[in-house]
Structure 1
Amino acid sequence: MQRLQLLKDTFFGLEVFQQQVLIGTAVVVGGVLAYVMLRRKQVKTIPFGNGWWGAGEKPLSEDGKIYPFTVQTSDKEIEDLHERIEKTRYSDPLEDSNFQYGFNSTYLKKVVSYWRNEFDWKKQVAEINKYPHFKTKIEGLDVHFIHVRPPQSGRQKVLPLMLVHGWPGSFYEFYRIVPLLTQNHDGFVFEIIIPSIPGYGFSEAPHKKGFDSLAAARVFLKLMDRLGFSQFYLQGGDWGSLITTNMSQMKPDCVRGLHLNMPLSPRSFKVLLSLIIGPYLPFLVGFSREDVRLLFPFFEKNVYEILTETGYMHIQATKPDSVGCGVNDSPVGLAAYILEKFSTWTDKKYKDLPDGGLERKYSLDDLLTNIMIYWTTGSITSSMRFYKENFKNNPDKRIDAKTGVFVPTGLAAFPHEFVHCPKSWAQIKYRNIYSYTLMPRGGHFAAFEEPQLLASDIIQFVKKVEKL
């Protein structure tokens, strides 16, 4: 009887094992089929189209000229700022809370004291104006941009490069990286164009609903065409990553190369399967040791962190005008709201520090200059609306979510980025990856905090594309 039972158990075990093999095979085959279907979908480009975001009806013609622009300030503007700062009401922080509840008000008072008594806005305006600024009307909006030409030399190849910022950043994020890119790199040099997303900083805010990343991409493509560039490179992080990706999907023939420091992976069966297998057999799903370290345990390092760090996104994607009303009226409220992101998005561990680690990577002058760009232009509310426009519909059903990116692509994965995207995930969307670099340090605001690292990665990527 024991032998008979053992025989039954053995056959039962083999049957279960066989079922598991069949299920596993079906899962893998299903994943392959889903991936193949996804690849088949990703062969078209996004229609270019047109739009009108200006006030009132679209005129018969639009002024296509480019005008020089100078950032200005006044004593009255500074006096108003100081008066508002002096009337700020603060809340007492909890004991030992550091930045775990948001911007610690004890440290906030130190920042505000520096802002009121030492920060020199006129000096910073002069710093902003050290690069040439321009404006031009596109689809009814005054689009602001910086255009930096490299020193002239007949022997070097000049490559146009557009750098696109995100939220809560601005064109000023790139001021540290511009001089690194406009110098000679073994026979080539970059000509830099840095636009402000409409609704951010000195670019006019859309007057009509619906201005999303696709509209911004179209506007920036028209800007490059107006500047006379038929082919160029693109670089972006945050919203800049999505906008430049959309530009590459709309007019791939114009994009010589796309470099991103915040690639986003689409939802797919391959991603789900890799999350199940990755911790145990990472090589089967194309994970490196660093991928495993940054991704797992997945719930703790991704799901939980996303839940705790994206409250702002839910507000801005639903009721941006409500929260915008408050921070647009209070300079200190605006600073706390934005600078808290520069703390936790640079390194999540900074929230355990009483000063949020803000001055480890940035100077207060640089941080407050970015705040002043939002404050003096009154653009915080319109910048928040960009979330509502982009999340108005299911992001997975947008046309760009179903369209592959086939231009040469370089990806820089900074270890403290908000969400880590392994190369195997990025390949689902970005189908022509020339380089994928796991950076030794750095977070979300790459150009601002690690300009040398980002510049070096852009340069090595371009060298591969240009075969230099």
Structure 2
Amino acid sequence: MWQEFLPNAWESLLSRIRSFEFSQKNAILVPVAALGVGGMLVCWLRSRHKIKTLEMGDGWWGSGERPLKGKEDESIRPFKIETSDKEIEDLHHRLDRARYAPPLEEAAFHYGFNSDYLRKVVAYWRNQFDWHKQVEVLNKYPHFLTTIEGINIHFIHVKPSYVPHGRAVQPLLMVHGWPGSFYEFYKIIPLLTEPAKHGLTEGDGVFEVICPSIPGYGFSEAPHQKGFDTVAAARIFHKLMNRLGFKEYYLQGGDWGSAITTNMAQMLPQSVKGLHLNMVFITIQGLGRMISVMLGAYVPWLIGLTREDVRRVYPFAQKNIYNILRESGYLHIQATKPDTAGCGLNDSPVGLAAYILEKFSTWTDDSFLDRDDGALESKYSLDELLTNVMIYWVTSSIVSSMRFYKENMSKFPGPAADPRLGVHVPTGIAAFPQELTHTPRTWAKDVFKNIVTYSYMPRGGHFAAFQEPKLLAQDIMHFVRKVEQL
């Protein structure tokens, strides 16, 4: 009997064991499955919020095709600006042969550079301006050249002479725009590298400043190929900072420098500790933005505009559309046929000076339009202004600098930060009241997702570092201090 019972008992035992195993597996599999689903959900949510970056890519801007063999020379070579008597004699000869068209009566600067005042500028340039002396001024900071993507890149690199105990040295790349140059930063550099000497609070550290010349500007070689835009410049400047041994660094820029450094922040956000801008490019497009612009004139508080925003933006048609149309004639030429106008400017120092210096008048303060002398000497010295002009003249770089507009304006989104990518690094914005356009914080944050500081500057215009170096230096330091605290 037990022989008949044993198989049944055995089968019953096996059945119980299987049932137990199944229940145990269920007890294990259910939470595992739940974790799996939850993990997939987390990954999906993270992927939705993953920061999209600008593709870095690569480029070749040298003459001819890129060499198939051989590594690019990555050496960093000391560079010194030089001049000669022959160069100055040629300049004087051209200045002596200048022709002037008489201005309209009471035209001031409303028709462009007033030729009566231009005669005075040229007379100073010819008889009193000392280019040899200004070359010495330019050479007071260390200059270097290095070859990146087939062209020579010029930059100055200034380190602090003294670092207080316990203070950090923050690398800061500062990028100029048009019609400026690396020389724009000569007043602000000592404030950043030696703040204590100039009565500024050091905060969390001092800076070592790197100021490159955009390729095609000044002493940086011009690209030999078509297509060199802000993205290409951003990539080259990242390579420059990497070549100098920096893994993380701060960026600062206005004008084209703003677009380039913004692209740098979108390209390698892990390398950018913070981005500071004194001009912000955004696009006024889309139904939502247009509604925001219209509502801002009547119920600004509803869309997050401050009283200062309203004062600077409205009436919108006059302060934005009309002013931009009035001041952007040069842009349409340079964005379409830069070489045509550039031929004349490259051949005539007087034409070059008028073309460049007119911007240093109206872009500093649009009320200077009403002055016969453009109020140029109220903010700058003629030595400073003519030194910047001479950088374009002796390097024959006006045409290649103008081409930068054509290379960028023919592409979407142009100089504005790509809103599809956004900017996620800590950002500081210094809004100067006489800038060409004002971008309220509430509009800027559509693109700049991590605004740490936003400052309404009390005075100043487009050439902030050149015009108001102390104000800009203080705002940069304030921004960096906040970022370091975070």
By the TM > 0.5 criterion, same fold? yes
Of 315-324 and 281-290, deviating more is 281-290
1:42 deviates by 9.0
Structure 1 residue 47, shift from structure 2 partner:
0.9
Any conservation in 2 of the 1:411–1:437 contact (CA below 8 Å)?
Answer: yes
Which residue of the partner structure matches residue 56 of structure 2?
48
2:175/2:182 contact within 8 Å kept: yes
Which of 143, 150, 162 is the matching residue for 1:133?
A: 143
* C-alpha separation in 2, matches of 1:445 and 1:137: 29
Supply the distance in 2 between the matched residues of 1:275 and 1:136 (Cα, whole angstroms). 46
The secondary structure found in structure 1 opposite 2:354 is helix
Q: Please state if 1:65 is matched with 2:75.
A: yes
User: Aligned-pair distance for 1:56?
Assistant: 1.1
Structure 1 match to 2:177: 166
Q: 1:454 to 1:432 in 2, by over 3 A?
A: same
Q: What residue identity is the alignment partner of 2:234?
A: A
Report what 2:436 is aligned to: 418
Q: What CA distance in whole angstroms lies between the structure 2 residues aligned with 1:200 and 1:380?
A: 7
Superposed CA deviations along residues 407-459 of structure 1, whole A, max 9, x for unmatched, are 00000000000011000110000000000001111000000000000000000
Cα distance per residue 1:60-104 (max 9 Å; x no partner): 221000000000000000000000000000000000000000000
Which residue is equivalent to 1:84? 94
Bigger CA drift: 283-292 or 220-229? 283-292
2:267 to 234, 250, 261: 250
Find the residue that maps to 1:424 and give its secondary structure.
helix
Matched residue type, 2:191: L
Give the CA deviation at 1:290. 1.0
Specify which of 74, 80, 87 is matched with residue 84 of structure 2: 74
Q: C-alpha separation between the residues in 1 aligned to 2:137 and 2:59?
A: 34
How far did 1:397 drift? 11
Which is higher, the Rg of structure 1 or of structure 2? Answer: 2
Partner amino acid for 1:128?
A: L
Change (3 A) 1:41 1:87: farther
Q: Which runs of 5+ in 2 are unaligned?
A: 1-47, 196-201
Deviation per CA, 1:146-201, whole angstroms, max 9, x where unpaired?
Answer: 00011243532000000000000000000000000002513411010000000000
SS at match of 2:246: coil
Match of 1:26 in 2: none
TM-score w.r.t. structure 1 length? 0.90
Task: Give the counterpart letter for 2:312 in structure 1.
Answer: L
1:389–1:396 CA distance, 2 compared to 1 (3 A): closer
Give, in whole Å, the separation in 2 of the partners of 1:383 and 1:297.
Answer: 33
SS of 1:434's equivalent? strand
State the distance in 1 between where 2:480 and 2:291 align. 33
For 2:102, give the aligned amino acid.
Answer: D
1:408 paired with 2:426, answer yes
CA contact 1:46–1:400 (8 Å) conserved in 2: no
* 140 and 349 in structure 1: CA distance in 2 versus 1, 3 angstrom threshold: same
2:387 is matched with which residue? 369
425, 433, 436: which one aligns with 2:454: 436
Identity, in percent, stands at 63
Query: Structure 1 residues 208 and 344 mapped into 2: Cα distance closer, same or farther (>3 Å)?
Result: same
Q: Are positions 1:108 and 2:126 aligned together?
A: no
What is the TM-score when the length of structure 2 is the normalising length? 0.86
Question: For the structure 1 residues 399 and 105, does the alpha-carbon distance in structure 2 shift closer, same or farther, using more than 3 Å as the test?
Answer: closer
Residue matched to 2:193: 182
Contact 2:203 2:481 in 1 (8 A): no
Does 1:124 find its partner at 2:124? no
SS in 2 for 1:441: coil
The answer (yes or no) to whether the contact 1:42–1:403 under 8 Å persists in 2 is no
1:102 partner amino acid: G
**2:181 aligned partner, one-letter code:** S
Q: Distance in 1 between matches of 2:415 and 2:139?
A: 41
Task: Return the match for 2:306 from 285, 288, 298.
Answer: 288
The 2-side partners of 1:401 and 1:133 are apart by 36
| Secondary structure, counterpart of 2:102 in structure 1 | coil
Report SS of the residue matched to 1:134. Answer: strand
* Aligned-residue offset at 1:400: 3.3
What residue in structure 1 maps to residue 30 of structure 2?
none
Partner amino acid for 2:306? Answer: S
One of 327, 333, 336 as aligned partner of 1:318: 336
* Deviation of the 1:135 alpha carbon: 0.3
| Equivalence for 1:192 | 209
Equivalent residue for 1:143, pick from 109, 134, 153: 153
Q: Distance in 2 between matches of 1:443 and 1:421?
A: 14
The number of equivalent residue pairs is: 430
2:229–2:407 contact (8 Å) kept in structure 1: yes
Query: What is the distance in 1 between the residues matched to 2:294 and 2:287?
Result: 11
Give the unaligned 5+ runs of structure 1. Answer: 1-39
Indicate yes or no: 2:168 matched with 1:157.
yes
